[in-house]
Amino acid sequence: MRKTIIFTFVLFSSIAFAQVGINTENPQQIFHVDGNKDNPTTGIPNPAQQINDVVITSNGQIGIGTTSPISKLDVKGNISLNTNSAGTASSVRFYENSSNGTNSVSLQAPSNLNTDRSITLPSNTPSNGYVLKTNDLGVTEWGPVNPASATLASISLSNSSAGSTAIINGGTGGVAVNQRFFQKFDNTVTDPNARFDVNTGTYTVSQSGIYLITAYIMPNSAPSRNEMGFYYPVNLEIRKNCGGDPSGGTNIMDNATIRWATPGQTILRYSVVVTGMVSLNAGDTLNTVIYLNGTNALSSNTSGISYPSNFTYANISDFKALFSVTAL
């Protein structure tokens, strides 16, 4: 009699802790359905064999296409939702923290579609101050909440001596000057999304769109021959994707002015300004470039071009040069 009781206890204990397998002799969880009956009799099924399996674990997690679910519902594959009820579009509902109540937020399909659509989420590391939005093609992307405050970036030249550049052939009569050089900067005015490299004066576009560009410089140097009739032209360019070469890439906008001689006055406050809106692609770079081009007048001439030996800036305004870019 005692042997019978012990045998019955062991039998019921085994049943209580048994795993149930359907179409498999090797269940991986407390309940396991092998839809295609292709799992091995021993060991763990490979991913291709698991793809047609459904399991329920001892802690209530459900795996579809996987025998090792890591959440309450773990699906390896696509999911389709349909209400099967006329007049109602399908949705997924997300509830607030249960300690705060039972309110929810739903993602619901439109009531009418002319073809299949999809929403592709972008990277989860947007620029500071950006929100999720869709563009005119229906592509989901990150965009600024308020372009004026979230995407305005500016750098400046505050120390005039730091911007001085020697002009090749400047001050030499009868010789041509043909020189491009990057505008120098030494101060970040505002750059919430870290798009500027102040050391190189380079702005890198974070995402495709329309951008407002504004730049100005306040040169100072008088012509080498600071006499009536002498002058030199100054061009300010915005170049795209120049790759470290002031003559490289594409000149997307520019402006020019002439610095006339001012006898008896070597310091003169004047400016060259460039501004406009352009379409840019993510990854594009922008630089401000100064372009000097012309042939110095002969010493015997009484008028003409006369480039100085150095390109310097007026020490009057706080900003001797400014470069601003805003995403619109």
- Containing domain of residue 25, as a range? 20-75
Q: Which residue has the higher pLDDT, 137 or 278?
A: 278
| Residue 263: inside a domain | yes
* In a shared domain, residues 138 and 157: no
Give the pLDDT confidence score for residue 144 in this predicted structure: 63
- Check if the beta carbon of residue 90 is closer than 8 Å to that of residue 113: no
| Residue 107: inside a domain | no
| Residue 9: inside a domain | no
* Per-residue pLDDT at 247 exceeds 90: yes
Encode 120-172 in three state secondary structure.
CCCCCCCCCCEEEEECCCCCEEEEECCHHHHCCEEEEECCHHHHCEECCCCCC
Q: How far is CA 14 from CA 1, 7, 9, 11, 19, in A?
A: 21, 11, 9, 5, 10
Give the pLDDT confidence score for residue 87 in this predicted structure: 74
* In a shared domain, residues 50 and 166: no
* In a shared domain, residues 244 and 176: yes
What's the pLDDT band for 7 if we cut at 50, 70, 90?
A: very low
Distance CA 317, CA 52 (A): 73
Give the pLDDT confidence score for residue 299 in this predicted structure: 93
Name the pTM for this structure. Answer: 0.59
* In a shared domain, residues 215 and 300: yes
How does pLDDT run across 129-179, given as a tens digit for each residue? Answer: 677 777 666 677 777 665 555 678 999 998 888 889 999 999 999 999 999
- Check if the beta carbon of residue 92 is closer than 8 Å to that of residue 106: yes
* In a shared domain, residues 182 and 121: no
| Residue 296: inside a domain | yes
> How many domains would you assign to the chain?
3
* Spatial CA neighbour of 202 closest among 161, 144, 241: 241
* Per-residue pLDDT at 11 exceeds 50: no
| Residue 305: inside a domain | yes
| Residue 2: inside a domain | no
* In a shared domain, residues 138 and 250: no
Q: What CATH number does residue 195 fall under?
A: 2.60.120.40
Which range, of 22-31, 105-114, 204-213, 298-307, averages the lowest pLDDT? 105-114
* In a shared domain, residues 209 and 307: yes
* Per-residue pLDDT at 68 exceeds 70: yes
